[in-house]
């Protein structure tokens, strides 16, 4: 699976040069489809906090059941807020 660096605090919110984590691209895309830059900076600035978000936790459970080379055939887009 392709991988991508995720800035725990978005670059636009002061995270340039800050801590990053290596994620699968599909997981990185889901994070940014689920949360705004402000939400990421304010409340989801650690891997543990990201895993605790209800929608992301559900996604992680779903993606773990997929084969190693799984790629989404549907382009992602920002999800509606709940």
At 56, list the tokens: 């992301």
Q: Which residue has the higher pLDDT, 52 or 76?
A: 52
Q: What is the DSSP string of 22-55?
A: EEEHHHHHHHHHHS-HHHHHHH--SHHHHHHSHH
Quote the percentage of the chain above a pLDDT of 70: 88
- 69, pLDDT greater than 90: no
- Where residue 79 falls among pLDDT bands split at 50, 70, 90? low
> Is 20:11 a contact under the CB 8 Å cutoff?
no
Q: Residue ranges of the domains in the chain?
A: 3-63
**In this predicted structure, what is the pLDDT of residue 80?**
59
**In this predicted structure, what is the pLDDT of residue 72?**
76
Residue-wise pLDDT for 1-51, tens only, equals 689 999 999 999 998 999 999 999 999 999 999 999 999 999 999 999 999
Compute the half-sphere exposure of residue 65: CA atoms within 13 Å on the CB side of its CA: 4
């Amino acid at each position: 699976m392709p991988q991508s660096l995720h800035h725990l605090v978005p670059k636009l919110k002061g995270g340039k040069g800050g801590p990053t984590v290596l994620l699968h691209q599909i997981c990185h895309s889901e994070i940014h489809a689920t949360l705004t830059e402000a939400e990421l900076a304010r409340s989801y600035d650690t891997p543990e906090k990201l895993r605790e978000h209800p929608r992301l936790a559900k996604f992680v459970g779903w993606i773990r059941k997929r084969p190693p080379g799984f790629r989404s055939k549907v382009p992602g887009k920002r999800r509606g807020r709940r």
